[in-house]
């Protein structure tokens, strides 16, 4: 009975998202990463810098399909305009609010054809990959405190002292370039990507 239930069970991934890190080859053959600035009319994070992406829909075959679809919708491109480098290029990122985020890499074949969807994207800009590799992100320590509802049976759990007034500290990355500020999950993806390149002795 349990095995039948498990066999027929489909994990709920309705909160999961997929993101595309778009690479562009410049006229001098150097590489840049392309970023979006979210439209000010959006309810969520208006005006912030991000990569193309969004929630994985039930119609998406897989996360990389979702990331490709979102990129095309936001930048006015077609699937023929992009070349996905690998379906598993970067490690997924866990987010308490957004579930699992799946980042992928692609080339935009002809960036001159980009026509941002004004409902979602106010503008785009690029940062040379060389700059990101040679200028490490700022690191800032951030913490948040665990808070339990008054109804939580705190007195009945083991090891109470380990959770009383507990704080979680983590590193928040900040990248500045040409007046733009990049932080949060977008900065974490950049740090993961550039760290992978450095570990592989990638030269620009």
CA dihedral 52, 53, 54, 55 (to 10 degrees): 170
Confidence of residue 10 (pLDDT cuts 50, 70, 90): low
Residue 169 CA to residue 143 CA, distance in Å, equals: 4
For the chain, the DSSP string reads: -HHHHHHH-----TT-EEEEEEEEE-TTS-EEEEEEEE-TT-SSSTT-EE-SEEEPPTT-SSHHHHHHHHHHHHHT--GGGEEEEETT-S--EEETTTEEEEEEEEEES-GGG----TTTEEEEEEEEHHHHHHSPPEEEEEEEE----TTS-GGGSSSGGGTTT-EEEEEEEEEEETTEEEEHHHHHHHHHHHHHHHHTT---
Instruction: Note the pTM of the prediction, 2 decimals.
Output: 0.85
- Domain total of the chain: 1
Give the pLDDT confidence score for residue 97 in this predicted structure.
67
Positive or negative, the Cα torsion across 57, 104, 96, 42?
negative
97 backbone dihedrals φ, ψ, rounded to 5°: -95, -30
The answer to whether residue 1 is domain-embedded is: no
Counting residues of the chain whose pLDDT is more than 90, the rounded percentage is: 60
Confidence of residue 3 (pLDDT cuts 50, 70, 90): confident
- Buried-exposed string 45-84: b where 16+ CB fall within 10 A, e elsewhere: eeeebbbbbbebeeebeebbbbbbbbbbebbebeeebbeb
The answer to whether residue 150 is domain-embedded is: no
Give the pLDDT confidence score for residue 34 in this predicted structure.
98
The answer to whether residue 147 is domain-embedded is: no
- Buried-exposed string 96-135: b where 16+ CB fall within 10 A, e elsewhere: eeebebbbbbbebeebeebebeeebbeebebbbbeebbee
Is the pLDDT at 123 greater than 60, yes or no?
yes
pLDDT tens digit string along 73-85?
Answer: 999 999 999 999 9
The answer to whether residue 2 is domain-embedded is: no
pLDDT tens digit string along 146-177?
Answer: 778 888 888 888 887 777 777 888 899 999 99
Give the pLDDT confidence score for residue 118 in this predicted structure.
93
Give the pLDDT confidence score for residue 117 in this predicted structure.
93
Q: What is the CATH number of the domain that holds 68?
A: 3.90.79.10
The answer to whether residue 126 is domain-embedded is: yes
In terms of residue numbers, what domain contains 118? Answer: 13-142+165-199
Mean per-residue pLDDT, 1-27: 82
């Amino acid at each position: 009975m349990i095995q039948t239930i498990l066999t027929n069970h489909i994990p709920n991934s309705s909160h999961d998202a997929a993101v595309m890190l778009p690479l562009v080859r410049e006229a001098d053959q150097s590489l840049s990463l392309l970023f979006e600035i979210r439209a000010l009319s959006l309810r969520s994070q208006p005006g912030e810098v991000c990569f193309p992406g969004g929630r994985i829909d039930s119609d998406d075959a897989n996360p990389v399909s979702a990331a490709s679809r979102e990129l095309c919708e936001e930048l006015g491109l077609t699937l023929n305009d992009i070349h996905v480098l690998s379906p598993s290029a970067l490690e997924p990122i866990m987010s308490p609010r957004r579930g699992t985020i799946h980042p992928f890499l692609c080339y935009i074949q002809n960036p001159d054809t980009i026509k941002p969807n004004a409902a979602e994207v106010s503008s785009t800009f690029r940062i040379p990959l060389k700059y990101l590799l040679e200028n490490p992100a700022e690191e800032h320590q951030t913490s948040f405190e665990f808070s339990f509802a008054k109804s939580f049976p705190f007195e009945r759990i083991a090891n109470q002292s380990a959770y009383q007034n507990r704080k979680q500290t983590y590193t928040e990355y900040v990248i500045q370039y040409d007046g733009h500020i990049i932080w949060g999950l977008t900065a974490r993806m950049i740090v993961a990507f550039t760290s992978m390149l450095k570990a592989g002795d990638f030269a620009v």
